[in-house]
Amino acid sequence: MELAIVVLLVVFFGLLLLNVPISFCIGLATLATILLSVDFMPAVTTMAQRMAGGINSFALLAIPFFILSGLIMGRGGIAKRLIECAMALIGMLPGGLALVNVVSCMFFGAISGSAVAATSAIGSFMLPEMKKQGYDVNYSAAVTAAAATTGMLIPPSNILIVYAIASGGVSIAALFIAGYLPGILLGVALMIVCAGYAKIKGYPVGARLPLKLVVQKVAAALPSLFMIFLVIGGIISGIFTATEAGAIAVVYSLILAVGFYREVKTTELPGVLMKAAETTAIVMALIATSSAMSWILSYEQIPQAISAAMLTISENPLLILLMINLILLLVGAFMDMTPAVLIFTPIFLPVAVELGMSPLHFGIMMVLNLSIGLVSPPVGSVLFVSCAIAKTRIEAIIKPLMPLYLAMFVVLMLVTYIPAISEWLPAQFGF
């Protein structure tokens, strides 16, 4: 087992340092580890079988549907209307534009299920506007990146679907409902930081709009926001599954973007479909190779060894959970969320269950934790997108990110040690 761990880690991190794509790092490290036990052809065959088995799941069909609906929404003028709605509701508060940025990312993340999509769509509108109003460009980029992570918790979220598969039976519907309170709590914490920062820096306060105009802006955004109720309401009521909800989201987003708002032309749809196919292929490659790695970890009984080792260090649940969080924060800084969830769920979930933590609660904690990795160098994908839009450097936005990191960490600790934040809402719906 010791040799398997060494080979797995050396090959994985060696390839990662050479800038090899993460799915190839995972796949080749797994294959090298399998080769320790069997010959080349059986190893390759086993690897192929495990990869195919990893993506042979009806629940995973929801991911390409939600990716496609998110892309259509992103091009369909949805972001602009959500921003105008948020501006009308809270733009007059201290640090109004920063607060609007956070709320808009929460809205759009809840619709698209993608932090990168939220960063791109909202950032493209908000960053130039914040710069025009005198906000520091690095601070604006930091706010956009941090706020976009709320979409990982507020459903529909693709990563929650991945966790449901990795955990071996947690209800996707229960995870979707469980994500609401932590996601909103995260957004509120970021807004508190933004309001305080605006007071210190003396950023301008937006004008209060007439009630009639506020109603108009909210009404214009309601068709977009209705998608949240359509998808989640249908899943909770049992009318359709999460996968069927994804298909319905695609149909609804098409009706909205092509027919109602008329922001997307039918001639643009092939390009959107191609982009959705590319994104889906990347995600599925990650899931396939990560599933193979999870299998070899289980075969070598590595999760059991890690669990036993952690429980021998201490039997204090508070300390063990803190250790798990710190490890996941480090992992999130170097690895994409999808493989991290698939690889580390089988390792840490048994430990958490042993400590009395429910798989539902652990899943929300894990996703929130790894969401921080999306805005953490050196690999944070959301960080790169936000910097590219703002035309700034990653090192320049780390300082303004610090208070936002602190807010996210405080929320992570609250979610970790107060199970009711994750479990209360699902319990009200009978999960």
3-state secondary structure 28-80: HHHHHHHCCCCCHHHHHHHHHHHHHHHHCCCHHHHHHHHHHHHHHHHHCCHHH
Residue 279 makes CB contacts below 8 A (sequence gap 6+) with: 67, 71
**pLDDT classification of 207: cutoffs 50, 70, 90:** low
State pLDDT tens for residues 322-362: 989 998 988 888 778 888 888 888 888 888 888 888 999 99
User: Average pLDDT over the chain, rounded to whole?
Assistant: 83
CB < 8 Å & 24+ apart, contacts of 310-319: 310/351, 311/351, 311/354, 317/355, 317/356, 317/357, 318/417
Average of pLDDT values for 96-104?
A: 81
Asked if the model's pLDDT at residue 91 lies above 70, the reply is no
**φ and ψ at 14, to 5 degrees?**
-65, -45
Quick one: how far is CA 308 from the chain centroid?
30
State pLDDT tens for residues 165-191: 888 778 888 898 998 899 999 999 998
How far is Cα 191 from Cα 97, in angstroms, rounded to an integer? 11
C-alpha distances (whole Å) from 236 to each of 11, 39, 177, 360 are: 43, 48, 8, 16
Query: Which residue from 414, 362, 23 is spatially nearest to 169, judged by alpha carbons?
Result: 362
C-alpha distances (whole Å) from 394 to each of 10, 98, 133, 387, 402 are: 28, 19, 22, 6, 13
Structure tokens at 106: 């929460």
Specify the higher pLDDT residue, 2 or 401.
401
Q: H-helix or E-strand containing 277?
A: helix 269-299
pLDDT given at position 1: 62
pTM, two decimal places: 0.85
How far is Cα 194 from Cα 188, in angstroms, rounded to an integer? 10
What percentage of residues in the chain have a pLDDT greater than 90? 11
**Rg of the chain taking only CA atoms, in angstroms:** 22
How far is Cα 122 from Cα 390, in angstroms, rounded to an integer? 12
**pLDDT classification of 410: cutoffs 50, 70, 90:** very high
Average of pLDDT values for 143-147?
A: 88
pLDDT given at position 190: 92
